[in-house]
A = this chain, B = another copy of it.
Amino acid sequence: MRMAELSAEAGVPVPTIKYYLREGLLPQGVRTSATQAHYGDSHIRRLRVIRALVDAGVSVAGARKVLATLDEPPDEVADLLGAAHAAVAPQGEDEIPLDDARRLAERLGFRPGGCETERIADVARALDALDRAGFVIPPDVMTAYLEGVKTIATAEIAGVPVDTPEEAVRYVVLGTALAEPLLLALRRMAEQIAAAERFPSGT
């Protein structure tokens, strides 16, 4: 298939496809001459994934990392997850206290070596931001956060398909990035439902 058809199939403008090619998000097609190349179904699928990532709020640079991990996955699941997380998590350089975050990690069942420091730092940064805004999360709510994410994460990891490595990689890498908007949307929906129960329409 040629560029025009790829564009039509995937619903992505030609200049944008060229941009993704330049940025290394989409592999080159098979060259048939100096000014022609042709593309296959894998390109269509890849384009759909790119759009999904970008729509999910992942930057083009982040999407490149995610896709690079998909293409050349590390062998160990922990490393795979680490790469997926590194591509998606916001990064900051500044030093922040990790103690509170570490305590939360322990409450989640953390054991030394069971989780990279960078993820603890993520949590620490989020806590720090809350703190700087003067916002305090009630202890009971924090406990529920831990319980909720534990439920979620345990099921996600239990759901990693072990039949073929490709499936596992796809599941872990894309699941990390693409499920985020869904989880946030589900939380908002659940909040409204819970609010309707507690405050039945009258304050």
Interface residues of A (CB under 8 A from B): 45, 48-49, 51-53, 55-57, 75-78, 81-82, 85, 88-90, 101, 104-105, 108-111, 113-116, 119-120, 122-123, 125-127, 129-130, 132-135, 137-138, 140-141, 143-160, 170, 174-176, 178-199, 201-203
Contacts and interface: CB of A to CB of B under 8 A. Distances in A.
Copy count, this protein chain:
2
Given A115-B192, A156-B194, A189-B105, A181 B126 contact: yes
Contact of A193 (B55, B114, B126, B152): B114
Nearest to A180: B184
A177 B123 CA distance: 16
A186 B155 contact: no
Given A155-B141, A178-B133, A181-B126, A186 B149 contact: yes
Contacts of A138: 159
A194 B101 CA distance: 17
A174 B76 contact: no
Contacts of A144: 151-152, 154-156
User: Does more than half of chain A's interface fall in helix, strand or loop, or is it mixed?
Assistant: helix
A158 B141 CA distance: 8
Give the most central of A57, A101, A181: most B CB within 10 Å.
A181
A133 to B, nearest CB: 3
Contacts of A78: 192, 195-196, 199, 201
A138 B158 CA distance: 10
Contact of A182 (B51, B55, B123, B178): B123
B115 A189 contact: yes
